[in-house]
Amino acid sequence: MMVFKAIISAILILVSSQLSSGFVTPSCSCTNRGGIYSASQDKSTQLLATTRRNFLEQSTTIATIAIGTSIPLPAHAKEPPPPITQEAVTEAFDAIRYELTNPSGVVGTLTNLINDGNSYEEVMQYTKESDAYFRKAKIGKARKLLTDKEIKSGSIQLSNAVTFDLIGINRASRPGQEDKDVQLKYLEDLKKDIEQFLELEKTIVIEE
């Protein structure tokens, strides 16, 4: 039984690592800005597009299997979660809305860097940083406020989609693979995924 639990834990760790390992940061100040688009990039872009949805479905399936086969652990006293107030909800979702609409937010900053056409290294670095402080911190905080269990469970797919959008932009910025059109495609996907997540705010039931 202990071996089985170890296998399940390894699977979950592998799933988590696949999300973060998709990012590459520049290793030197030199980068190829000739805009060369190799045949391998065609395959890479197609693979990312086709596996994006598959991975989201697979991660949900694996998580469901792990939950269904887990063994109950001894109960420990936990502090009750903080009350879900209108102020807390507004603050959390406004922070995400800022990243979507403000020129200094994630979307605005990436738009400027991509349109510059010569900021591939900066784009690579910024996408990796954004996944940490935006997706993990801000979207993660808002997810905890969702009151509908089914919606809250499904929202992990939107959170993962944001990571894949950022990975897509990152890959299209790598030396020898620079492609502005691909960057803009994933930037549009990022906008749509953030907008969909913001729609979840109206599903929250405020505690009286």
Give yes or no for residue 7 having a pLDDT over 60: no
Higher pLDDT, 198 or 80: 198
- Kindly calculate the radius of gyration of the chain based on its CA atoms and give it in whole angstroms: 19
For residue 47, what pLDDT band results from cuts at 50, 70 and 90? very low
**For 87-126, how does the pLDDT look when each residue is reduced to its tens digit (9 = 90+)?**
999 999 999 999 999 999 999 999 999 999 889 999 999 9
Among the ranges given (81-85, 126-130, 190-194, 195-199), the one the predictor scored with the smallest mean pLDDT: 81-85
Residue 83: what pLDDT? 79
Which range among 31-40, 48-57, 86-95 has the greatest average pLDDT?
86-95
Residue 37: what pLDDT? 35
Those residues with Cβ within 8 angstroms of residue 99's Cβ, 6 or more apart along the chain or in another chain? 105, 106, 107, 134, 138, 194
Which range among 4-13, 49-58, 101-110 has the greatest average pLDDT?
101-110
**What CATH number belongs to 37-47+82-208?**
1.20.120.290
Q: Among all chains, which residue has been given the structure tokens 């420990």?
A: 76
Those residues with Cβ within 8 angstroms of residue 19's Cβ, 6 or more apart along the chain or in another chain? 160, 163
Is 41:92 a contact under the CB 8 Å cutoff? no
**How far is Cα 161 from Cα 167, in angstroms, rounded to an integer?**
10
For residue 34, what pLDDT band results from cuts at 50, 70 and 90? very low
Is 97:188 a contact under the CB 8 Å cutoff? no
* Average pLDDT score over the chain: 78
Give yes or no for residue 66 having a pLDDT over 50: no
3 state DSSP class of 48: helix
Give yes or no for residue 54 having a pLDDT over 60: no
Task: Give the residue among 178, 169, 73, 74 at the shortest CA–CA distance from 117.
Answer: 178
Those residues with Cβ within 8 angstroms of residue 14's Cβ, 6 or more apart along the chain or in another chain? none
- The ranges assigned to domains in the chain are 37-47+82-208
**For 132-159, how does the pLDDT look when each residue is reduced to its tens digit (9 = 90+)?**
999 999 999 999 999 999 999 999 999 9
